[in-house]
Structure 1
Amino acid sequence: MFSVDGYLNSIKANLEKQTDVLVGNLKTIFTYNFSSEIDLIDFSAFIEPTRFELSIRLFSMDKEANEVFHEGDDLTVFAGSEVLTEVEYFQLNESQLDDFFEFYEQNEEVLNTQEQKVFTDWFNQCWEKAGGDGLKIPAYFVFHDDVKSYDLNNKQWIDDDDKWT
């Protein structure tokens, strides 16, 4: 009933529907006046696997891995925001849930790796389409609570700790 390729292709198709929204949101973010206290930015993906939803939030960080909040009066200074809110990346009828989760459990190792690749590749394509390479702040795409980060400037995965050195 389910296949790895079919599932991944469905995710790609659903994410593609959100490309214009994400690109537009990124373009807007790139126009912001970033606080001088920000050393890097993390685009953190939050995956809700039981509802098949993806949210992406931007965290402005300093080199000590602390989130930077702008508390001044200057409303033009930016510190963080929601980039994409709860978009559905896979659709499934409720009657198929048990079969799907059985399929997922049987293929979990492959699916976890491939899902992350699909999400990362899509975000990176949107990043490039929005002109992210022109942003002068180091930027990363991360999965919430993961130990690695995708360096959007150097197009490679790094240990999360490496971005703080």
Structure 2
Amino acid sequence: MNIEQEFSEKVQEHLQALTASMKPVLKELIGYDYPKEVVSLEFEIFADGFTQGFPVRAFFMDSNDSEYFVYINGEAQYPSPVEPELLKIEYVYPYELEEKYTNQDEDFDPWSIAINELIQWFSECWREMGGESFQLKANIAPHDNDQAYNLVDSKWEER
């Protein structure tokens, strides 16, 4: 087994351990009655987040592709039943795991492997919680990427 496969399997193990925590969060997001201004949920993945918390953040977007907020007593709040950070955890996997593989091969790219595994895992959790019947658009993608994975239609798209 090469180090990419080995690292990939380790990331999968760490993500699987988060499934029980992630599913209820996604179920709430999928079942929530959003303000009419919200047309899309955009989940952005921040690569440094794997070893520092949870790398995915939810954005609630309007038809102008701007982040939408609800104002309550003059204070901006997210139009969401859950926090945009989704999970409050120390890390998906410890920094030492990345370090082990980058020390073996200086060209090793842990983030693209981790991001691919995360998108696959996240979309599975999304589908299992009924996400294919979600009435708005929903995508997940690495931060500042020109392609996004459409969670409702289960396919990659330009954005």
The TM-score by the shorter chain falls in which range?
A: 0.7 to 0.9
* 1:29 paired residue number: 29
Separation (CA, whole Å) in 2 of partners of 1:24 and 1:100: 33
Determine if contact 1:59/1:79 at 8 Å carries over to the other structure. no
* 1:54 paired residue number: 54
CA-to-aligned-CA distance 1:33-88 (integer Å, 9 cap, x gap): 20100111101222316836533221110122200101157xxx962433123453
* 1:90 paired residue number: 93
- 4+ residue runs of structure 1 moved beyond 4 angstroms? none
Separation (CA, whole Å) in 1 of partners of 2:43 and 2:135: 15
**Where do 1:47-126 residues align within 5 Å?**
47-48=47-48, 51=51, 53-72=53-72, 79-80=79-80, 81-86=84-89, 88-91=91-94, 93=96, 97=99, 100-103=101-104, 105-108=106-109, 111-126=110-125
The alpha-carbon distance between structure 1 residues 129 and 87, as it changes in their structure 2 partners (threshold 3 A), is farther
Separation (CA, whole Å) in 1 of partners of 2:64 and 2:6: 42
Structure 2 gap ranges (5+): none
Q: Which moved more, 1:146-155 or 1:10-19?
A: 146-155
Deviation at 1:12? 0.2
TM-score by length of 1: 0.77
* 1:4 paired residue number: 4
Determine if contact 2:47/2:115 at 8 Å carries over to the other structure. no
Determine if contact 2:51/2:92 at 8 Å carries over to the other structure. no
SS at match of 1:149: strand
More strand by share: 1
Deviation at 1:101? 2.4
TM-score by length of 2: 0.80
Deviation at 1:104? 5.2
Percent identity between matched residues is 19
- Alpha-carbon RMSD across the aligned residues, in angstroms, is 2.7
* 1:163 paired residue number: none
Separation (CA, whole Å) in 2 of partners of 1:150 and 1:50: 19
SS at match of 2:7: helix
Determine if contact 1:53/1:89 at 8 Å carries over to the other structure. yes
Determine if contact 1:44/1:58 at 8 Å carries over to the other structure. yes
Separation (CA, whole Å) in 1 of partners of 2:135 and 2:50: 37
Aligned length: 152
Deviation at 1:148? 1.6
Determine if contact 1:55/1:84 at 8 Å carries over to the other structure. no
